[in-house]
Amino acid sequence: AVVANVLSGITNEIDGLSLQAVSLAGRSRNAA
């Protein structure tokens, strides 16, 4: 259970980072 919680937390962080990266990439594209 603990391992599952840690893994879910890591995946949530990765999802957040990927979303930020996508939004940043979209901004740079719009700026260009």
Domain ranges of the chain: 1-25
pLDDT number for residue 6:
95
In this prediction, residue 29 carries a pLDDT of: 82
Distance CA 28, CA 12 (A): 24
Whether the predicted pLDDT of 32 surpasses 80 = no
For the entire predicted model, the pTM comes to: 0.57
Distance, in Å, from the CA atom of 32 to the CA atom of 20, rounded to the nearest integer, reads 18
Would you state the pLDDT for residue 21?
Answer: 94
| pLDDT, tens digit, 9 for 90 and up, residues 2-30 | 999 999 999 999 999 999 999 999 998 88
DSSP tally for the chain: helices H, then strands E: 1, 0
d(CA 31, CA 28): 5
For 30, which DSSP code? H
Report the pLDDT value the prediction gives residue 3, as an integer from 0 to 100: 94
Q: Is 12 left (phi over 0), alpha (psi -120 to 50) or beta?
A: alpha
